[in-house]
Amino acid sequence: MGELRLMKGNEAVAEAAIRAGCDGYFGYPITPQSEIMEYLMSEKPYETTGMVVLQAESEVASINMLYGGAGTGKRVMTSSSSPGISLMQEGISYMAGAELPALLVNVVRGGPGLGTIQPSQADYFQSVKGGGHGDYKIIVLAPASVQEMADFAKLGFELAFKYRTPVMIQSDGAIGQMMEKVELFDPIPRRTEEELIAQCPWAATGKPKNRDHIIITSLDLDPAGQERVNLKLQAKYRQIEEKEVLFEEISCEDAEYVFVAFGLSARICQKSIDMARAQGIKVGLFRPITLYPFPTKQIAALAKKVKGMLVVEMNAGQMIEDVKLSAGCSVKIEHYGRFGGIIPAPDEVVRALEKQIIGG
Amino acid sequence: MEEPFVKTDIRKEENIVYKRTNLLVDRPLSYCPGCGHGVVHRMLMETLEEMGLQDKTIGVSPVGCSVLAYDFMNIDMLGAAHGRAPALATAIKRMWPNRFVFTYQGDGDLAAIGTAETIHACNRGENFVIIFINNGIYGMTGGQMAPTTLPNMRSSTSPYGRDVSIMGHPLKMTELVAQLPGTYYVTRQAVHTPSHVRKTKKALRKAFENQKNNTGISFVEVVSNCNSGWKMTPVQSNKWMEENMFPFYPLGDIKVDGKLVEQKEAVTKE
Ligand SMILES: Cc1ncc(C[n+]2csc(CCOP(=O)(O)OP(=O)(O)O)c2C)c(N)n1
Ligand code: SF4
Ligand SMILES: [Mg+2]
């Protein structure tokens, strides 16, 4: 059993990054995720593992520092919350285009604009549908606990390097701030220069005599060349969709209805299930863990078995579009959402199920 | 038939007095004939070759006419987003402290969209070299006004000349970064005559020597022509540059070994 600690989600992802052999963190303060850099600065990993921690002048600088570090094969991460992530979109698009691995953490707060510092899930579209310009996707992991904040840091780096793509942990202000018991995995040593060069032959590390110079770029002015880049990216995304879908089903075996929810909403729905089942309503929960790749096939299969689905999100209805695309018209699908930083209570979710799905 | 320009029979080893450095890739440059970018590329690559740094250097190219610098420089390179080269270089150097890192940036890239990244990298005293090609214009996008465009100078977005009362003043980024404690060597050079080319090369050498000692930023501005953007012949553009750019952007060292050099009174034409 790994080391047990009581931690905030933000601290857990920071500690896990150090343990996952992260080479560099670059970030800019914003609530509700500032504890990530604060934790790293107080832990001083630069004195232990050699990990660089730098407070940048903006999120624009942070993401471009990430691009620089990632282009040299280093394991790099940043974190921010919604407005800061918006500022990073150009850089994320460049990294997707140049096929660079990196870990991004978005501890989502309510928007639009400066919005609120309270938890929200309103950045689903931005994370899952691309966010920046051009045809690209990034892998999006949605933790529902502090434990998953830690575990997904490690998983995120693995996927990022496996597919040479940015990976985002999309959390929210509640998962970031709440404290829970975490079992921490054992530290993985940072790669040596030799290991990095052997593992990342694509990285710009200094040109030796015996290989061509390496160019990290997302530019190809020739449209035929740029189409080839796009085709290559799309082939990679199909592979990710094939192999990397993660989801969880709770109490779905006998369910007549299901909640579909991710992250914090899924935690709330677990409580709603208990309440509804106490009233005799057979309801289960389907929780997408990867928001991209989306568990399309699994939702399609589930839609054939149940009488209705309630998509519960802390937004005005974003993931529901993907649920509907997956399920088609075979079953009734409704949305229940609270926005702007309001967290729905378990009983209001049960009432919504009764009103919108069972009674409706 | 016309005589070929180069007589092949004189291409013999013993006759070679000048050849391409191995650190430039053997392919035609994308620059307009007469443009200063190519000369700076060559001086930079010669410097790295002479210092034996090909395998230890990681360069960052900008967005601007030199966006394809990585195609010409035979070293490992990253192409940055517009203005962000100093952010890339910051991370690269911090994670590869034993590598030599430089950015190569135009005036729009460095002094407009990338102002924050430039100033903060300089102010943090990052240990890389910034090479700044100031041609007073956005060359790549077709000759629009840059932050460095001179008062009354015409560009496609200041077709009647830059009216400073409406369009603001040209920005002397180099003087500005020289004030910051994180810069160690700040100089302004040119490449339009052989003697200026030699001085630029010396400056580049000094900049990379400084990097060996982790002194902080070495910042080498090259005031250069953009004959296409300025709508002049290469010869006219060099003359215009001497008469108009140099008085506003005087050549020479601004900061050496961390100390500001006594400034000559700059003649500004406003
Ligand atoms: C975010 C963004 N904005 C605008 C552009 C368009 N753009 C490309 S190059 C350039 C100006 C380059 O000028 P400068 O840095 O002076 O380089 P030069 O071409 O003169 O060498 C601009 C505005 C871009 N590529 N990206
Ligand atoms: S447009 Fe200007 S800066 Fe660009 S290559 Fe031509 S002369 Fe040089
Ligand atoms: Mg320019």
Q: Please tell me the distance from the alpha carbon of residue A65 to that of residue B30, in angstroms, as a whole number.
A: 28
* Averaged pLDDT, A270-286: 98
Of A54, A91, A214, nearest to B81 by CB-CB distance is: A91
Residue A259 belongs to some domain of the structure? yes
Q: What pLDDT sits at residue B269?
A: 45
Residue A143 belongs to some domain of the structure? yes
Q: What kind and span of H or E run contains A2? A: none
From the number of C-beta atoms within 10 Å of its C-beta (0-12, 13-18, 19+), residue A49 rates as middle
* Averaged pLDDT, B137-153: 98
- 3-class SS letters over A289-351: CEEECCCHHHHHHHHHHCCEEEEEECCCCCHHHHHHHHHCCCCEEEEEECCCCCCCCHHHHHH
Question: Does residue B220 carry a pLDDT above 60?
Answer: yes
Question: Does residue B6 carry a pLDDT above 70?
Answer: no
A51 and A185 share a domain?
A: yes
Q: What percent of chain A has pLDDT over 70?
A: 100
> B120 in contact with A at a CB cutoff of 8 Å?
yes
> B70 in contact with A at a CB cutoff of 8 Å?
yes
Q: How many domains is chain A built from?
A: 2
Best mutation target, A72, A74, A200, A221, to test chain B (most B CBs within 10 A): A72
Structural domain containing residue A26: 3-193
**Banded model confidence at residue B157, pLDDT cuts 50, 70, 90:** very high
- B26-56 pLDDT, tens per residue? 999 999 999 999 999 999 999 999 999 999 9
Residue A325 belongs to some domain of the structure? yes
Residue B44 belongs to some domain of the structure? yes
A33 and A172 share a domain?
A: yes
Rounded to 10°, the helix B194-212/B37-50 angle is: 50
Cα nearest neighbour of B22 on chain A: A209
Residue B163 belongs to some domain of the structure? yes
Tell how far the Cα of A44 is from the centroid of ligand 1, in angstroms: 38
Residue B263 belongs to some domain of the structure? no
The domain spanning residue A21 has which CATH number?
Answer: 3.40.50.970
| CA B194 and chain centroid, separation | 16
* Averaged pLDDT, A197-206: 98
Integer distance in angstroms from the first to the last C-alpha of chain A?
Answer: 48
Residue A89 has φ and ψ, to the nearest 5°, of -60, -40
**Banded model confidence at residue A12, pLDDT cuts 50, 70, 90:** very high
> B146 in contact with A at a CB cutoff of 8 Å?
no
**Banded model confidence at residue B4, pLDDT cuts 50, 70, 90:** low
Cα nearest neighbour of B100 on chain A: A206
Q: Please tell me the distance from the alpha carbon of residue B13 to that of residue B4, in angstroms, as a whole number.
A: 20
Residue-wise DSSP of A163-192 = HTSEEEEEEEHHHHH-EEEEEEPPP-PPPP
> A220 in contact with B at a CB cutoff of 8 Å?
no
Residue B86 belongs to some domain of the structure? yes
Q: Please tell me the distance from the alpha carbon of residue A225 to that of residue A232, in angstroms, as a whole number.
A: 11
Q: How many domains is chain B built from?
A: 1
**Banded model confidence at residue A1, pLDDT cuts 50, 70, 90:** confident
Instruction: Please report, as a single letter, which amino acid is at residue B19.
Output: K
Q: What pLDDT sits at residue B3?
A: 60
Q: What pLDDT sits at residue A103?
A: 98
For ligand 1, pick from B133, B137, B138, B144 the residue to mutate: most ligand atoms within 8 Å of CB. B138
For chain B, what is the mean pLDDT? 94
Tell how far the Cα of B141 is from the centroid of ligand 2, in angstroms: 10
Alpha-helical runs (H) found in A49-123? 59-71, 82-87, 89-97
Cβ pair A109, A116 in contact under 8 A? yes
Residue B22 belongs to some domain of the structure? no
* Averaged pLDDT, A76-99: 98
A156 and A282 share a domain?
A: no
Cβ pair B62, B105 in contact under 8 A? yes
Q: What pLDDT sits at residue B270?
A: 41
Structural domain containing residue B179: 33-255
Of the candidates A172, A193, A214, which is a domain's last residue?
A193
Cβ pair B255, B242 in contact under 8 A? no
Cβ pair A21, A49 in contact under 8 A? yes
Residue A129 belongs to some domain of the structure? yes
The domain spanning residue B143 has which CATH number?
Answer: 3.40.50.970
For chain A, what is the mean pLDDT? 97
Cβ pair A352, A259 in contact under 8 A? no
Question: Does residue B8 carry a pLDDT above 80?
Answer: no
* Averaged pLDDT, B171-176: 98
Of the candidates A160, A176, A193, which is a domain's last residue?
A193
Residue A226 belongs to some domain of the structure? no
* Averaged pLDDT, B169-181: 98
User: SS3 helix, strand, coil % of chain A, rounded to 5?
Assistant: 45, 20, 35
Count how many residues are written for chain A: 360
Pocket of ligand 2 (CB under 6 A): B 31-32, 35, 37, 65, 135, 139-140, 226-229
Shortest distance between the Cα of A68 and any Cα of chain B, in A, equals 4
* Averaged pLDDT, A296-301: 98
Q: What pLDDT sits at residue B92?
A: 98
Residue B199 belongs to some domain of the structure? yes
Q: What pLDDT sits at residue B12?
A: 81
Question: A333: closest CA among A317, A314, A316, A350?
Answer: A317
Question: Does residue A192 carry a pLDDT above 90?
Answer: yes
A181 and A320 share a domain?
A: no
* Averaged pLDDT, B172-198: 98
* Averaged pLDDT, A202-211: 97
Tell how far the Cα of A188 is from the centroid of ligand 2, in angstroms: 49
Question: Does residue A151 carry a pLDDT above 80?
Answer: yes
Q: What pLDDT sits at residue B7?
A: 65
**Banded model confidence at residue B13, pLDDT cuts 50, 70, 90:** confident
Q: Do B87 and A68 touch (CB under 8 A)?
A: yes
- Entry pTM: 0.96
